[in-house]
Chains A and B, each alone.
Chain A
């Protein structure tokens, strides 16, 4: 039965076309995710592009890989000062300026961390902050991140002072202090990009999956095959379970196939280096989730899978209930755009943020949640939104199939 239900989905031209569109868009996203970080400024100040350019950049940055201790930070500050004090760096000539930029490509990512960790305050980003650092400040690198957070949370002039409870503030500070330092740094463009472009893939996936799922139940009515279906021996039990199983298998197979292709393409091209580096060793430095890149990516794709399964089941429920494939197809679109609608509502911002953090659309962009300060306080037990939203939708995804089953099995033919 399950085999035939799957065949029903892909026997339609629309199903095959949807898969082809997904393949094309996935390929385009992969190309974009790899190509956007494949630039290298050579010794003449010219920009090279492509795989060889990426390899040169990767080698230059890997030369600085290792534990980012005080000594390494001092060396980076010194190297940065050396570069910024050259006539080329200070020249108005673009070519000379580019040549100087090229010298700093190896320390570019660590220099970016210096900008963040030594920022004037938690909310400010200054690209040139690293240029004003002196080697003796290297020891303040790690403590400074915690200090910035504490100042931010204690500042009565910004909204965060009132947004978070004392328990939440304490929890965040503890999370910041719990970050294992000094941490390991490496070239991690692969992990950075695979996380950054994940929402594009997840959006493509859920649209295609929504389309495929939308007809599983409602097409019986549209094809007028419902009478024979429901009058069959298993029409009101096993055959419905077969539809649910087919939907689940299709979502699982397509999701993981697409994620596998996407991940292997991007990481295979840019490199798996930096898997064990913490999130905080990148522009996700504010994150209070003490995870490595690989752990974070695993959570993001698992969360995305939960989101896709939930939205797919929701789509099936709508199409089973309404007998309409069109309404089913619209379901993922509504789910994705619902946050935009809620954002524009004139409610308390804290409540809005908490609602947004719990919407299924958030599961499709958990890479963002890694850096959002969404917290939940369950009677004094504080936690970030990430585990809450994943756990919530694991439960809801498990609860939906019985609801769909009951809804569909009691259908009468009119």
Chain B
């Protein structure tokens, strides 16, 4: 059971949506992480034979999947990002139809449909029309259709998009259950979707894999450290311009920032234009829960208000996968549009 991608490229006119990626997948969950437009969907579509590569090759146990055609699709399950369905079909009819085009014999199709409806928790809604289902129920119907043929390769493109937290957890557990004895490639831009269940994570950016490995390996490989620092509200913007900030949490009279930096972050003043001048930088210590403590004025001294923040050093924090994600995909707010 080996799905191998070799130097795969997909070019759309001038743009390389996937740019020479290579990897090998055996059993287990593979998390494909990346921001929107990273090339995840294009890669998955090629893996599903929906798009043909401009160059490179995808093989299943050594055979080209496009040459295998029907034989390859027989072992494939796919839940696309935009899960389309037949709005006037009931859940049961929908699954029976998909079973028929997946080549399941009617008797087997009926049995598998009943099993999967139960497994994804849609027993009460099996007679309901697809268009009447909630978003979460549709996604569950989607995973059921992908599993109908008990695929050896299960490709899930952003399966948790639009789901509420409970549904997401439920979905994650379901995927984890399904991952035994098959390859599951799960694309998402939500780190927690894959953090705990993925055997290997592939970080994709601009059509390339920028980082890969287990969650621990990826965390260990990050060259920067994570710092926690509480700053006055008016200085937050300056910090965002200067550093990659993975989290901003409001605290009384200030904000607690989670900063990615090789060195402890220095203070940044809001009146220093687009970025603080070196001479004006001071260090601060996080003062979480600092109500009734003094706050620091623009000139760095203690100033008005019920709370005061004194200049101290930032605290080193434990690195998470989200920090790694930010390291690779995040931008300082001064770098442009700054999607983080």
Contacts and interface: CB of A to CB of B under 8 A. Distances in A.
Contacts of A345: none
Interface stretch (A56-64, A233-241, A297-305): A233-241
A228 B145 contact: yes
Interface string B69-99: 1100110101110111111110001001110
Interface stretch (A4-12, A91-99, A364-372): A4-12
Contacts of B76: 231
B157 to A, nearest CB: 9
A223 interface: yes
Interface in B189-223: none
Contact of B84 (A8, A223, A239): A223
Nearest to B104: A233
Interface stretch (B46-54, B118-126, B180-188): B46-54
A13 B129 CA distance: 13
Contacts of A234: 70, 101-103
B86 A11 contact: yes
A227 B70 contact: no
Contact of A232 (B52, B96, B98): B98
Contacts of A242: 101
B87 A227 contact: no
Interface in B238-282: none
B50 A231 contact: yes
A242 B98 CA distance: 13
A307 B204 CA distance: 53
Contacts of B228: none
Given A4-B96, A8-B89, A223-B85, A233 B149 contact: yes
Contacts of A231: 48-50, 73, 76, 78
A12 B131 CA distance: 12
**Contact-size category for B:** 20 to 34
A233 B96 contact: no
B173 to A, nearest CB: 23
Given A232-B102, A233-B149, A227 B85 contact: no
A233 B74 CA distance: 5
A379 to B, nearest CB: 46
A161 B79 CA distance: 70
B203 to A, nearest CB: 24
A413 B50 contact: yes
A227 B100 contact: no
B73 A232 contact: yes
B45 interface: yes
A227 B101 contact: no
Contacts of A180: none
Contacts of A12: 88
A12 B149 CA distance: 27
B145 A413 contact: no
A220 B98 CA distance: 13
A412 to B, nearest CB: 5
Contacts of A354: none
Interface in A91-127: none
Interface of B: 45, 48-52, 69-70, 73-74, 76, 78-80, 82-89, 93, 96-98, 100-103, 145, 149
Given A231-B49, A231-B78, A235-B73, 14 more contacts: A8-B97, A11-B86, A11-B88, A11-B89, A12-B88, A225-B84, A227-B48, A227-B50, A227-B78, A227-B80, A228-B98, A231-B48, A238-B103, A413-B50
